[in-house]
Copies of this chain bind each other. A is one copy, B any other.
Amino acid sequence: MKKLTSLSATIMFVLALLIISSPKTNSQSLSDKQITDYKNVANQFVRKALEDRKGYFLLKELTDIGPRLSGSPNSIKAIHWAEKKMKELGFDKVWLQPVMVPHWERGNIEKAKIVSSKKINNRNLVVRALGGSIATDAKELQGKVISIKSFEELREKQELVKGKIVFYDRPLDQGLYSGGYGGVWNYRVFGADSAAKYGAIGVLLRSITTKYDNNPHTGVVFYADQVKRIPAVSVGYLDSDFLRQALKEEPNLEVNLKLNSKWFEDAPSYNVIGEITGSKYPDEVITVGGHIDSWDLGVGANDDGTGCIQSMEVLDLFKRLNIAPQRTIRCVLFINEENGSRGAEAYGNFADSSIQVTIAAMEADAGSGTPRDFSVDSDSLTIEKIKSWLPILAETGILEVAKGGSGADVGRIKSAKARIGYGPDGQRYFDYHHSDNDQFSIIHPREFELGSAAMATLVFMIDREGL
């Protein structure tokens, strides 16, 4: 090949840029050069995220506000903090989308103790009201306890349940790679209703956790309109062990329970939305988001302060690297994922009725571990296209692109061509989940920041290659 003149070289460079930045319907054809160039971008995202730890320090600011349950003053503080921060980061548009949310408060009394026992009278149990639980009538509630391991057993023993407190003594199955949450969460959500049908007066739920400690988790409890509402609490894992043993020795012991939790009118709240407007296809939107609300235990660092800040940092990484996206990249911090999904519903309705098209909607709500995979809800050709980018995504720690569930919030954007869930390593996830353990101190800066880089890389690929 002849030596290129300077002009020819310039033309070829411009052509190369056009090639790397032209939208395509089929990406199987990435050249070695393109792959190398894209890998370089991925590595720049990784370097910026890891060196600066900017998202990590933003997460500190957010979690310093405290827990952010929907309807709480803290949640409003966090929303305004995020709005202000997005403006400071220089996003092109920043706005709040109003939405009414449920408003429940835990109150300041949540006590349980073993009574009517010869050996261990007045022994306290560490409990936390499940989210949305009613208070105990007449200040307290007392009754015998029946231990139940499954809904099947509940049905079989329905005659024995009346007037008693049901203790769902069902540990999360630790023997599964994926964690055993799938086999227990429905006892938290539907356990009170199921027990109330047979006349139970209250529910004690063995805390759902992979950590053998005494910090009970919380999470939503569901009441059907036609069933009497009964108070429901989770019991620390260690105290659940204690109660199990106590019931073996004295089946007739009673537990006394006090809760003063309270429901309020729906409260005004907001989704926080910020975007960098696309330079070439402003009406094609790539959404990336987490949920700004958290449970009221811990500070929601892992669930889902992480996803919020990583989503904000995706946009900020584009800015820090001076990359102008061709499509609009929009960060959405959804309110009320934990107990109502009102934010997701509102944003989904907005997006589905907009003149703009959501070509991809990515959600980060699986914790702060090292990147492992993306789960994609889309047609098989689109999934194959994203899979073909694995050599590039692998620079950020992503080793798999799988077909599968994306997430509760982006799931409401029905019109999105692809809904994507970011999948970090989750072995520690249920050590913290919805409990006092979910603190900023459990976030590892490198693992957390790699999440921002992995998401930024996939957003960049979608921006440049289309879907």
Contact = CB atoms under 8 A, between A and B. Distances in A.
Nearest to A394: B400
The winner among A46, A175, A428 for most chain B CB atoms within 10 A is: A175
A175 B51 contact: yes
Contacts of A46: 175-177
A397 interface: yes
A427 interface: yes
A425 interface: yes
Contacts of A174: 50-51, 446
A450 interface: yes
Interface string A361-399: 000000001101100000000000000000000011101
A47 interface: yes
Contacts of A427: 370, 444, 446-447, 450
Contacts of A400: 399
The winner among A373, A399, A446 for most chain B CB atoms within 10 A is: A446
Interface string A20-51: 00000000000000000000000100111011
Contacts of A50: 174-177
Contact of A450 (B43, B177, B446): B177
Size bracket of the A interface: 20 to 34
A406 interface: no
Given A427-B370, A444-B428, A446-B210, A399 B399 contact: yes
Interface string A153-177: 0000000000000000000001111
Contacts of A399: 372-373, 399-400
A335 B43 CA distance: 38
Contacts of A210: 446
A174 to B, nearest CB: 5
Interface string A416-440: 0000000001011000000000000
Contacts of A51: 174-175
B450 A397 contact: no
Interface in A169-206: 174-177
Please name the 3 residue pairs, one residue from A and one from B, whose CB atoms are nearest each other, closest first: A47-B175, A399-B399, A51-B175
Given A369-B370, A372-B399, 9 more contacts: A46-B175, A46-B176, A48-B175, A50-B175, A177-B450, A370-B427, A372-B372, A427-B444, A428-B446
